[in-house]
Amino acid sequence: MALDETVRLLKQRIQEKLDLSVSLTDIQLQDMIEQEVFSFPFGTYLTAGQQHRLVMRIFHSFRGLDVLQPLVDDASVTEIMINRHDQIFIERNGSVSQTEVKFESREKLEDVIQAIVAKVNRAVNESSPIVDARLLDGSRVNVVLPPVALEGPAMTIRKFPEHPMTLEDLIAKGALSGEAALFLQKLVRAKYNLFIGGGTGSGKTTFLNALSQYIPAEERVITIEDSAELQLRTVPNLVRMETRNANTEGRGEITIRELIRSSLRMRPNRIIVGEVRGAEALDMLAAMNTGHDGSLSTGHANSTSDMLSRLETMVLSGANLPVEVIRKQICSAIDVMIHLTRLRDRSRRVTEISEIIGLEGGEVRLNPLYVFVEHGEEKGGGIKGELKATGSRLYHADKLAMAGITL
């Protein structure tokens, strides 16, 4: 008998014996499943390990994420991509591969999706088929349902490590140099406004987490995100806020713009906006310009200059302002731009750290401080290179001086 059919029969037998009026603990349910597995006529001998895996698979179908649970529990898996119920890919050590894991049906995948979004008070259905959510461990979840997803429900889970990576970890991985890391630590402590740009999967959130560990413990920090995933473990005085989607009647939506405006009345020392995508960019810049130095944020872009252009476009989507006014806002709000890139060998590197020094001829003028220099490839295809100082000095060093920090 095929394994999927065996699982189906066992689940059916267990469901018939379940008393819905009695709430079983996880241990009681697992004991019940074990009894059914041990008494089931398999026809072939199962090892203790095979029996345990079968018990856990059935248990996860009742209480966990079904076939996804082992992948979620596997620390080496960093991303889970469900294209449809019977096609699941994973990313492990930067390499993407298809797994043999699959849901027993499209309906079972839909049940798991609804269970995930319900736990974070989100809703997803045909009339609102796209949603961002998270797992209880903080992993980011994106769901797309039909009719938008043509081959059935699709879901992507971006996992985050239990212990946030530090700058030392990133140095060990070759993501940036020790010199650049020390420079950025000093900028964070001196309350420079930093903006992190990069493509999808380039490590922006991981890098933001690493930088946030150098925020002085006595400061009050407000974090604002679409789906909460930042892990600030070193700041006791912390308020975490998350947007809310509209309900089925189209009411109750709370946007990043509203949260930023509300945060200004909460006496923050710093505001961290997980990611700006639209009109909220204007409110973020305004917050940085109204005494909330040391704020951090991220955005999607292919280069530092592209990120600046995208910020202009974001602001224009919510305000009818002259471009020159927007550029002045950017120059007065953001001190340093950091750009991350996922290179062709799948490694994630800081490829540029540039200071914004003002407007020149109507254009934002950048002062590149560190740039990534490639030295070729290793035998295995890995890229050899390093983040090197350009020799340019920090133009605006006043915040460092006020903080009593020297470079």
pLDDT tens column, 115-172: 899 888 888 888 889 998 888 888 889 999 999 999 999 999 998 777 788 999 999 9
Closest of 216, 228, 240 to residue 275, by C-alpha: 228
Considering the domain architecture, whether residues 198 and 140 belong to the same structural domain is answered as no
In the chain, the number of structural domains is: 3
Considering the domain architecture, whether residues 150 and 250 belong to the same structural domain is answered as no
Question: How far is Cα 203 from Cα 298, in angstroms, rounded to an integer?
Answer: 10
Considering the domain architecture, whether residues 56 and 83 belong to the same structural domain is answered as no
Mode of pairing for the β-strands spanning 194-198 and 95-98: unpaired
Considering the domain architecture, whether residues 150 and 261 belong to the same structural domain is answered as no
pLDDT for 43: 67
pLDDT for 93: 80
Tell me the CA end-to-end span of the chain in Å, nearest whole number.
69
**Letter for the amino acid at 337?**
M
Considering the domain architecture, whether residues 131 and 174 belong to the same structural domain is answered as no
Considering the domain architecture, whether residues 392 and 293 belong to the same structural domain is answered as yes
57 vs 330 pLDDT, higher one: 330
Percent of the chain residues past pLDDT 90, beyond the cut? 58
User: Domain ends where: 159, 191, 214?
Assistant: 159
Place of tokens 């903006």: 195
Q: What is the average pLDDT value for the chain, to the nearest integer? A: 89
Beta bridge partners of 144: 130, 154
Is 247 part of any domain?
yes
pLDDT, one tens digit per residue, over 32-61 is 888 888 888 776 777 888 888 888 877 777
Considering the domain architecture, whether residues 176 and 138 belong to the same structural domain is answered as no
Residue burial 231-244, b: 16+ Cβ < 10 Å; e: rest: bbeebeebeebbbe
Give this prediction's pTM.
0.80
Question: How far is Cα 293 from Cα 193, in angstroms, rounded to an integer?
Answer: 6
pLDDT, one tens digit per residue, over 189-242 is 999 999 999 998 899 999 999 999 999 999 999 999 987 888 888 899 999 999
Considering the domain architecture, whether residues 144 and 2 belong to the same structural domain is answered as no
Question: How far is Cα 327 from Cα 362, in angstroms, rounded to an integer?
Answer: 8
pLDDT for 53: 80
Considering the domain architecture, whether residues 223 and 342 belong to the same structural domain is answered as yes
Please tell me the least confidently modeled range out of 14-23, 223-232, 330-339, 359-368: 14-23
Closest of 70, 73, 68 to residue 88, by C-alpha: 68
pLDDT for 214: 94
Please give the residue range of the domain that contains residue 34: 1-63
